[in-house]
Amino acid sequence: MLHTAFAGRRFRRVTVQRVLGGAALALLLAACGRDNVRPVAEPAPPPRPATVTPAPPAPPVRIGLALGGGAAKGFAHIGVIKMLEANGIKADVVAGTSAGSVVGALYASGMDPFRMQERAVALDEASIRDVRLFSGGLVQGVALQNYVNQEVGNRTLDRMTIPFAAVATRLDTGDRVVFVRGNTGQAVRASSSVPGVFEPVRIGERSYVDGGVVSPVPVDAARQLGADLVIAVDISSKASGTTPGSMLGIVNQSIAIMGQTLGRQELARADIVIRPQVNDIGPASFEQRNAAILQGERAALAAMPQIRSRIAELERARVAARTPPKPVEPEPVDIDCGGSWVRRLNPFAKEPAC
């Protein structure tokens, strides 16, 4: 019994010694190998999520209408406007020259195109033609001025529903003038005063004549009003190789010839050019107003794919310009840690402990 107890105590003592010896050996090996073991850095915190501020929505494309001159051919403008609005395209600004200024003023006042067509069909040409001989022109133009003011509710240019400009020509210098303030009917009268047919319009100290002399289709005026996309409607007469049979026809063709070069240059600055087939309609053929309106509708309908494509192109460009750049993903970097190398996955985190 005594021998057995002694043997048990001896066994436990030997076991404890072995355990203590093993622990001491492990500590010794760890101490010896300290210089050969690379330190392990604490794991870097996860990358901070990039904060992306959403870009403000791009403003809509501002559409401008540039309505050219052409006397009775100008009824085609009504058809163009009808078709544009039927396809959801409404002008944000309007500029007009001569006949285009008449239609443009009515449209800019808030009159819808169907109402414009009704007024055009009911128009008595004699009511806007006040003949006055030996006054610098056959027609004085006051009747046209009064007609326009009545149709727009006596609004001045700067109080139109849609921003509007009428283009005329300074008689003394030949400079282009863009009317954006003042008496609407008077500005339209100045823009429509065909030299030799209408007497020049005196406003202040200056006299003005038809805007078609210097700007047959007022693309630049529409840009000045803030248009991003300009739809130009060209109804100007082209030299046909024959001599017109009426005085108005001769004058109208003479103005068209004078403005051809300037007109081509300005039309080149438009985004879209619509050309209604109205060459067979004479400048005084008011009885063909319905035919002119129909040709305007057809020409605008044919141009719709091109118009939609151009609007979409401008909208994509605006979105791209306002889209913020993608955040740069952090690249892992190696750091020298006192002779040892550790890998830091987040370059924006604090330096790892070595």
The catalytic residues are 98, 210
Sequence length of the chain is 354
Specify the DSSP class assigned to residue 195.
Answer: B
Rounded alpha-carbon distances, angstroms, from residue 313 to 142, 221, 306, 308: 45, 23, 11, 9
> In angstroms, rounded to a whole number, what is the distance separating the alpha carbons of residues 70 and 284?
10
For tokens 């985190």, what's the residue? 349
Three-state SS at 228: coil
> In angstroms, rounded to a whole number, what is the distance separating the alpha carbons of residues 208 and 198?
11
b/e map of 298-330 (b: 16 or more CB within 10 Å)? Answer: bbbbebeeebeebbeebeeebeeeeeeeeeeee
b/e map of 196-209 (b: 16 or more CB within 10 Å)? Answer: bbbbbbebeebbbb
Give the DSSP letter string of 139-157. B--HHHHHHHHHHTTT-BG
